[in-house]
Structure 1
Amino acid sequence: MDHAALLALFDRDLREGARPDGPGDARVERVGAVVRQTAGAPGWSGVLWSALDEDTADAAIAEQVGHYTGLGLEFEWKLYGHDRPATLGRRLRAAGFTPGPQETLMLGEISALDLDAEPPRGVRVEPVTDAHGVGLVADVHEQAFGRDSSWLRAELLARLAADPGTVVAVVAMAGAEPVAAARLELVPGTPFAGLWGGGTVQGWRGRGIYRALVAHRAHTAVARGHTYLRVDASSQSRPVLERLGFAALTSTTPYVRTP
């Protein structure tokens, strides 16, 4: 892969040319040199892309703060390592944003990935199509990440009901026990699909389930006509993804501001 060209394609299709990622009232708009999404709960609101410099950054930040604060919404400024100006992170912190853990944007051309992976014996991968399956995914999320998953329940139910062509969720079952879960987010009209929420409960890690879920979703993405997979990878998942053939292109850090 030509990493620079692929990163430019990613910026063009998924950031500057973003479209709403959920049903209902979510909207994407370009305001000056900023592209943002605004959505009511449980949707995601935040800044997706910007083209700022030292002279324009502070005013653009203040404008976004005013927009979301006026709506009473928490929002995220999704900052990538190649975004400009180089001082943007510092300026966001000065404006009241709190940075989350830094992750790595990884991209992989699906045809070049090592996808020869099956779940371990006794574990099966099942598609999620109804409220029961969504509940299993949310339960795994809470156990794997130690965070409340009420937003995930609401969002997945809404997406599966209103826009099922843009999301695929799966759960790995050991008998009647959900042991891992993940979702694939498809972006129609682009070559990209995204891997999100891959988590395995304690006691089932290190058995190849995460790798099997990556392979399962990759095959689904190809069947839906997509060429590339993107992942915001944690430090734990990055080594696994690198062994599968994903390339690390830049960092990504969520800066969150609560009214």
Structure 2
Amino acid sequence: MADIPGKALPFPAPAKLNLDLRITRRREDGYHELESIFCLIGLYDTVYFSLRDDGKIIMHTPVEGITSEQDLAYRAADLLQTASGTKSGVEIWLDKNIPTGGGLGGGSSDAATVLMALNALWKCGFDRQALMDLGVKLGADVPFFIFGRSAFAKGIGEKLTEIDVPKQWYVVVKPPVHVATGKIFSHPRLTRNSKPSIMPSFQTLQPFQNDMQAVVFEEYPEVWQAYLDLSAYGNALMTGSGACVFVSAESKEKAENIYRQVSEKYEAYCIEGLGVHPLFHIDEKVGESSSG
């Protein structure tokens, strides 16, 4: 990774899990209507910013294989700059810890952190809903990270209502494979007819399911094997379109015990669920630091 100057300001970008994911229909435009419980977890990328006064946006660490201008973090900064009309610029560095291609939302979270952090640093003045409206232009998961709390999602994932999720720990396993989301959404055997929920809650949606995991297991045997291995410790489930699978635990001790056993075979993480995004009150925090 490129050297990050000491003056650069760090901001966290947490991962997410889909604790439940159901596809209710396929729309005429090809998008899928879904319902899901989104939960933030304590696994983070870090986005660093160094402000410029010449209006230039410079992305020092684009995701491997794409140009700076294609990177979601760059696109988020460019979108906010255009929408706000600010003359300010920024240099951006990403320190990636969230595995890519795992269904953990790392790229979307990075973009959301860019929108929230630069909205405060550039003093754009957009409220949360305005940032969410910008975020959905970048990806269906981006608004959730700006929403900043456990949420029940509808539509393509952008219609969010707060939902209570008990405090839990999670063991997340990353199989050695990258799942192509588009391939799963277009799969002929993907289930697309789950019944919409009337009164969704953490309790009423039990047992949780993921309508994507059957076809992912069929196409990617590595994910199926990881699911089988993790199922020995509880009700394992895939998050998003994969490849990561996870199991919940009521205590840190139980989670650590599971982690010790599965981490011998897999890239694994033992992490706590988050009740709120660390940048939920970012405007107050930035205001305090600039005035103090």
TM-score normalised by structure 1 residue count:
0.32
Greater RCO, 1 or 2 (C-alpha within 8 Å, sep 6+): 1
TM-score normalised by structure 2 residue count:
0.29
Structure ranking higher in helix proportion: 1
